[in-house]
Structure 1
Amino acid sequence: MRKSLLITAIFILIVNFVSAQNTRLGFTAGPVASTMFQKVSGKKHMYDFGYAFTAGALLDVPMQKHGSFQPGINYIMKNSKDTYTDPTTNKQVLAKYSLTYIEVPINVVFRIPAGSSGNVLLGGGVAPAMAIKGKTTNEIDNTITKDQGLNFGDETKDDFGQYDFGINAIAGYEFNNGFFIQLNYNHGINRLFVGGDPEDKLYNRYFALRLGYLISCKKKK
């Protein structure tokens, strides 16, 4: 039910903004470097970075002279890894996490003229996301011992919460022909742990380097 409502809301949003004058449609893709920040029993720990991929689409709706409102939708993989000692075997375990989300960023971007070829991009916003699948892989002595799926939800039996929410910071460059390159930092603020001590925290963090292209939605007369 929640998935259907989210898809319906996105569809209505897209239809409304595509009808706006001078709106452009953009497509993006690129690599992602992600990690997780953990705080358990007062101890802070940052997981090692994992690398993956993202692809998506956005709408560029003009705001004043140099600004744009940019809602979008992304398929994004947030991977990370962590090394710990198994207390029963006293062996080092490398745990790899792969979390896949549908993300709906809502950003505001400003353009600063930079020569005759294009504009510098600076902006930010928010990015709610919904997990659609995930898995974890454990390695001991370079041998995979366990590869299992992860459960997402709001019950104590689930591995992680279903929803994520992050703050975006954006910088990049847009060429006059519609091509652009964009560096995006996302700082997760939604607790991924389900149940347990509310003071224990786990958050996503990621950097994404996106290459994109904008095309006009305006019908030619």
Structure 2
Amino acid sequence: MNCPKKYYVIIFLLIALFITNSSFAQKPTFGLKLGVAVSHSTIDENTTEPNSGSSFNGVGILGGVYLDIPLVNEVVLRPGAEIVSKGSSGNSRYYYYPPRFTYLDIPLNILYKSNSSHGHLIAGGGPVLGIPFQPYYGYTLKTDVGLNGIIGYEFSIGFSFNVNYCYGLNNVSKNKDIATKISTRYLGISVGYNF
């Protein structure tokens, strides 16, 4: 686990948020979200047996915070921090319990947010940095980089309904003795509230 790099990324994001926030006159809004993540993990286990790959599907929790920073017209920068349980069902070749990978995802979305008296249609996406929590049994994980797409609707009273899809781009397996490749992706369904 390479902690200093993770701290540099978090510090960089906080500095970027501060600079962006101080550059624009419109006030940012803070939001909370909570929902479920329907995930799919693919694990290529290190074995010479044919068909040694495993696919796991599962439902886990998704929750976090975000900041909507108005840029120009109806364009919003939405950085956030989310705990995502990329849970699974089924058994691994090496472990009886299904693997459950928990990440701190840091999305940096650029969103179109339509202006209306009744609410706002939200659509957009951006990159996601996923920092794994502790290893799950022998599956030690590396930092993930992915792409996120989001669509939703925010009511005028602040409540919102959101659907997002996050696709992990790289191999997150750190222990090649157990798994030569691990990839993750999930569909998030959540409700939110802007303050």
The alpha carbon displacement at 1:168 in A equals 0.7
| Count of residue pairs the alignment pairs up | 185
What is the SS of the residue equivalent to 1:97? coil
Q: How does 1:65-76 map to 2 (within 5 A)?
A: 65-76=73-84
In structure 2, list runs of 5 or more residues that go unmatched.
none
The alpha carbon displacement at 1:132 in A equals 1.6
In structure 1, list runs of 5 or more residues that go unmatched.
87-92, 136-148, 151-158, 216-221
Q: In structure 2, what is the equivalent of residue 140 of structure 1?
A: none
The alpha carbon displacement at 1:45 in A equals 5.6
The alpha carbon displacement at 1:195 in A equals 6.5
Seq. identity, %: 24
The 1:12/1:96 distance shift into structure 2, 3 A limit, reads: same
Are the aligned partners of 2:113 and 2:122 in contact in 1 as well (CA < 8 Å)? yes
Q: In structure 1, what is the equivalent of residue 99 of structure 2?
A: 97
Q: Which amino acid aligns with 2:98?
A: K
Q: In structure 1, what is the equivalent of residue 71 of structure 2?
A: 63
Which residue of 22, 25, 32 corresponds with 1:21?
25
Does residue 194 of structure 1 match 2:174? Answer: yes
Which residue of 27, 49, 57 corresponds with 1:49?
57
Tell me the distance in 1 between the aligned counterparts of 2:185 and 2:32. 23
Q: In structure 2, what is the equivalent of residue 108 of structure 1?
A: 110
Q: In structure 1, what is the equivalent of residue 146 of structure 2?
A: 166
Q: CA RMSD in A?
A: 2.8
Q: What TM-score, normalized to structure 2?
A: 0.80
The alpha carbon displacement at 1:178 in A equals 2.1
Which residue of 14, 33, 39 corresponds with 1:34?
39
Which structure is higher in strand share? 1
Tell me the distance in 2 between the aligned counterparts of 1:62 and 1:78. 31
What is the SS of the residue equivalent to 2:8? helix
Q: How does 1:174-189 map to 2 (within 5 A)?
A: 174-189=154-169
Q: In structure 2, what is the equivalent of residue 8 of structure 1?
A: 11
Tell me the distance in 2 between the aligned counterparts of 1:36 and 1:3. 23
Tell me the distance in 2 between the aligned counterparts of 1:102 and 1:12. 19
Tell me the distance in 2 between the aligned counterparts of 1:44 and 1:204. 17
Q: What TM-score, normalized to structure 1?
A: 0.71
Tell me the distance in 1 between the aligned counterparts of 2:21 and 2:181. 39
Are the aligned partners of 2:104 and 2:133 in contact in 1 as well (CA < 8 Å)? yes
